[in-house]
Amino acid sequence: MLSRAQIITTLTRPLFRAAYPLLNVHSTFTTLPSYRMYSSWHNIRNKLAALRNPEQAANTLKHDLSESIPEGLGKDAKKILKYCAYLDAEMIPIGLLETIFPNTEKLNKELIELTKTHRLLKEVQPGIYSISPELQKKLKGDKPEQQIIASLLKYINDLLCNTLEHGSDDEHQLKALINCAVVVADSAKEIPDVRESLDLLCCFLASYYNKTESYYNSLVYWERSLSIRKTLYPGNHYKVAKALNNIGFAYSCLASNESSLESIISFSSAFIKLKTMVFGKDIIYEKVHLKSLEYYKASLAMQSVLSSGGSNTRSIATTLSNIGYSYMALRMHHSVYAYSSLSNFEESHRMFTSLSSCDDIARSLCNLGSIYFIFGDFNKHLELYKQAYSLHLASHGKNHPYTETVSKVVSAVDPEIFLRQGPVDRLQKQGEFRGNPIGLEFRKPILSHSGNAECLYELKLKIQSTILNKIVDDCHDNDWDTISTYFDKAFIRKKLGLLGYLPDTIESVQMLCFEAMNLGIMKSDKKPYDIVAGFCRTYPELTEKIATEYPEFFVDGSIVEACTNARWYSKTFAEMLKKNVKYQDKEIERSR
């Protein structure tokens, strides 16, 4: 009597012979058809046996895996497989393999052997390879090789650095490289000797995800970078401070992206979801921005401790700008956030001007312009952006991205500015038109900032529409005799009511009117500097007080020069202005 196994063998052998031509059979020992037939039949028999004896089937599978690598495989081919074992099984880019094995001709030869002869790798698409997870597991063994992981970290970091800097023409290669980087980062997290390389890889991954607007993933890797750096650099360290700043930036990006907010809500607790349903997404928006502020402030505190002799000034100024952005985003929840934003932008601008970097100064001017737009002072917003445009134009030329970006903002507020600039410039140079003889919209930005103007913000808001905006408009077609009425104490008290009788209020309003007058002069095509000259002769003491307490109210270096010329007979006055109101002149601007 036949056994059960003999019956199964007898019944299935004809079936196998009929189906054999349709099977895609992989042989790991030989390519002889007879052996391939036996090997395939052996696999089918094992599957059938699994139905009656799972334990025996598992042992058979384990035995097959142990024999999956041919004995005659070359040293280089084995090395390729060994590295592939620590990469993404589904997507291994040829670019990474070429970095590991620089000899391209030899690499291609080995890949042909591995894919077509032995079929241990599979080319899923041009330049992208895959390896079976079972083979990966066998190659890695129970204890991963730290040396291979360390080498892969170096290779991937070098390749990512070059790719992110110069861009990639092949999106499939880049995606496969990122997937491999994620796998290697997970493998390396328990290895203490590769923390610096792992930190660099986390930064690259965070930058990539930020660039592709996958902000949640970016945040994950910035947080991993912070965790590594806290281990590497205990206490206060500038790299830890930078990591805190990066996390703050990631939270800011999360809050500014609608789809990211949706993902945060979906992963939030039931209580947060309920509050979101009742109060809307603003509650998540506010919490995320407050979280970014928490990290920015922690970074600022650490940088302040580390700062010595101004060595860390630029980093502090950048962090202050970031804090300003977060407060500006939160302004819709409470007006105090807008004041906090302005004060941080002002402090950042003072630091950037001390460094004399044209691009940094221009960016900080744009930050200030944005917050003044929110306050409703559109004239100051426009003037600050014109100053930024002038700096970028002198530094980079008309066609540079920085210049073009700022020019779009300027033309959005004043659509005809670039249309009328050329004719007016020609008239000025011919002496037929009053004003700046070196160009209509050339600027000499004020570099001196007091940091005391915060106390005038609320007063400024009260008189912005009733007094200040009118002064700006009237400067275009009027002279000092007309503008002087705005500085009259009786006029100011009439406009302010009881507020006008408070101590120092009149003088504060006059200072704000002085700034508005200068904004009007710079906005006008005629550049009527005789208006400010009349003010200097009428209010010499107030001019000196403004120069000492609020030098930024002079708006532009050409205003300072007009004041100096108005009182040419006073050497003391000229020296006072030179000492307190510094500005960036044409020669310095061109040299940069």
pLDDT at 181: 92
Chunked mean pLDDT (size 10), the chain, 592 residues: 58 53 41 41 49 48 48 82 90 91 89 88 91 87 83 91 80 90 89 89 92 88 94 90 93 73 48 41 72 93 81 87 90 76 90 85 92 89 90 84 89 78 51 44 81 76 91 91 93 87 87 95 88 94 93 92 92 92 62 36
Based on the domain organization, do 470 and 561 belong to the same domain?
A: yes
Based on the domain organization, do 467 and 586 belong to the same domain?
A: yes
How many Cβ atoms from other residues are within 10 Å of residue 476's Cβ?
13
On whether residue 305 sits in a domain, the answer given is no
Based on the domain organization, do 15 and 117 belong to the same domain?
A: no
Q: What share of the chain is helix, strand, coil (3-state, %, to 5)?
A: 75, 5, 25
Both tokens of residue 10?
Answer: 């007898």
Distance CA 356, CA 429 (A): 29
On whether residue 326 sits in a domain, the answer given is no
**Contact assessment for residue 440 and residue 425, using Cβ atoms and an 8 Å cutoff:** yes
Both tokens of residue 523?
Answer: 């906005």
**Contact assessment for residue 385 and residue 406, using Cβ atoms and an 8 Å cutoff:** yes
pLDDT at 274: 39
Both tokens of residue 148?
Answer: 């291979």
**CA-angle at 240, arms to 237 and 244, nearest 5°:** 140
On whether residue 264 sits in a domain, the answer given is no
Based on the domain organization, do 25 and 102 belong to the same domain?
A: no
**CA-angle at 97, arms to 93 and 99, nearest 5°:** 115
pLDDT at 24: 43
Distance CA 303, CA 237 (A): 8
Based on the domain organization, do 582 and 471 belong to the same domain?
A: yes
User: Which residue pairs, CB below 8 angstroms and at least 24 apart, start in 1-6?
Assistant: 4/52
Based on the domain organization, do 494 and 553 belong to the same domain?
A: yes
Q: Which of 395, 367, 363 is nearest to 381 (CA)?
A: 367
- Alpha-carbon Rg for the chain, nearest whole angstrom, is 35
Based on the domain organization, do 19 and 95 belong to the same domain?
A: no
Distance CA 561, CA 443 (A): 13
Question: Helix 358-375 and helix 313-329: axis angle, to 10°?
Answer: 20
Based on the domain organization, do 492 and 527 belong to the same domain?
A: yes
Based on the domain organization, do 458 and 549 belong to the same domain?
A: yes
Choosing from 66, 92, 118, the residue where a domain stops is 66
**Token pair 């390879």 is at which residue?**
129
pLDDT at 443: 83
On whether residue 526 sits in a domain, the answer given is yes
On whether residue 210 sits in a domain, the answer given is no
Based on the domain organization, do 475 and 584 belong to the same domain?
A: yes
Q: Which of 498, 508, 513 is nearest to 466 (CA)?
A: 513
Q: What are phi and psi of 525, to 5 degrees?
A: -65, -30
Distance CA 264, CA 243 (A): 22
Greatest C-alpha distance within the chain: 131
Q: Mark 555-575 as b/e (b = at least 16 C-beta within 10 Å).
A: bbbbbbbbbbebbeeeeebbe
Distance CA 232, CA 251 (A): 24
Q: How many structural domains does the chain have?
A: 3
Choosing from 146, 163, 198, the residue where a domain stops is 146
Choosing from 44, 66, 88, the residue where a domain stops is 66
Domain that holds residue 112: 75-146
Based on the domain organization, do 516 and 541 belong to the same domain?
A: yes
pLDDT at 543: 94
